[in-house]
């Protein structure tokens, strides 16, 4: 990972808490000083103290949920994180009203499952999930609904024949936009590729999600052109082959630079 020039947000986070050794790109150097996820203060001398407070807060929330019987020893960790997040956000439902997770909660759970593959410590994992989700909704909540149209525009520039096929087959309106744009490809891309995408999102751009989706469509153009039913297109795109995803992300970043220059905080 240390030799990867594309940098990932986990490296950025661990360097922020004192594990040095990876050379930073200038743009991320500036972002780290601003603490893009807001987890740690800019002064390294206070990291240990703040880290202790974070751990105590985590334990307090956990114990409160156990006392209220929202969670127990058999509750999956991702559902624990969801209840913790709901409690802190003051949207925790009554115990008698808890039901199967709705679409928004499923988005959170998908991001949580992906984050667990990246971060081992549960305290760090929860804080990263919480801050990532909050930052994404705060910065990009108004932009996300417009990303499908943006994808359509760039696809018309790169491969109009594929765009017409998706339109004519009825698949365009049914593409897995939630998986791509609301879940930021959690559950679609493996961890090694996903963290490169999330790094760009944390750095300040949700438009990278459009170009990853665009490159997926371009990479599997021949297969997609041979599928005439929208459900077949959706099924394939929700289960893309995992062995080629790093190349897809690399090409997506190239497309991002092609259309957006060299954005640092581009939306």
Ranges of each domain in the chain: 141-267
Q: Quick one: pLDDT at residue 94?
A: 85
Residue 240: burial class (beta carbons within 10 Å; 0-12, 13-18, 19+):
middle
Q: What is the pLDDT of residue 96?
A: 63
At CA 246, angle to CA 244 and CA 252, rounded to 5?
105
pLDDT of residue 230: 97
- In Å, what is the CA distance from 99 to each residue of 87, 91, 94, 104, 183? 16, 14, 10, 13, 21
The pLDDT tens digits of the residues spanning 83-95 come to: 999 999 999 988 7
Are 247 and 220 in contact by the 8 Å Cβ rule? The answer is no
Q: 141-267: which CATH architecture? A: Orthogonal Bundle (1.10)
pLDDT tens per residue, range 149-203: 999 999 999 999 999 999 999 999 999 999 999 999 999 999 999 999 999 999 8
Check whether 207 has a pLDDT greater than 80.
yes
Compare 43 and 186 and report the one with higher pLDDT: 186
Alpha-carbon span 56 to 62, nearest angstrom: 10
162 Cβ partners below 8 Å, 6+ apart?
A: 155, 217, 218, 221, 224, 225
């Amino acid at each position: 990972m240390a030799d990867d020039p594309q940098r990932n947000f986990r490296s950025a986070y661990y360097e922020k808490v004192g594990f040095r050794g990876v050379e930073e790109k200038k743009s991320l150097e500036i972002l780290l000083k601003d603490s893009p996820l807001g987890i740690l203060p800019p002064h390294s001398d206070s990291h240990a103290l703040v880290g202790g407070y974070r751990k105590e807060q985590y334990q307090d929330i956990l114990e409160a949920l156990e006392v209220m019987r929202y969670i127990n020893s058999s509750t999956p960790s991702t559902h624990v994180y969801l209840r913790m997040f709901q409690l802190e956000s003051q949207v925790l439902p009554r115990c008698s009203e808890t039901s199967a997770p709705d679409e928004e909660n499923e988005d959170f759970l998908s991001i949580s499952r992906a984050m667990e593959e990246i971060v081992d410590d549960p305290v760090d994992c929860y804080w990263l999930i919480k801050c990532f989700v909050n930052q994404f909704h705060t910065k990009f909540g108004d932009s996300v609904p417009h990303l499908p149209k943006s994808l359509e525009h760039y696809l018309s520039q790169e491969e109009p024949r594929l765009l017409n096929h998706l339109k004519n087959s009825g698949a365009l309106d049914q593409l897995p936009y939630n998986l791509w744009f609301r879940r930021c490809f959690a559950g679609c891309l493996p961890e090694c590729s996903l963290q490169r995408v999330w790094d760009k999102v944390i750095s300040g751009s949700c438009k990278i999600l459009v170009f990853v989706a665009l490159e997926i469509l371009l990479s599997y153009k021949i297969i997609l052109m041979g599928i005439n039913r929208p459900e077949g297109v959706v099924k394939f795109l929700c289960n893309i082959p995992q062995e080629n995803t790093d190349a897809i992300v690399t090409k997506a970043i190239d497309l991002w630079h092609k259309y957006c220059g060299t954005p640092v905080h581009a939306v």
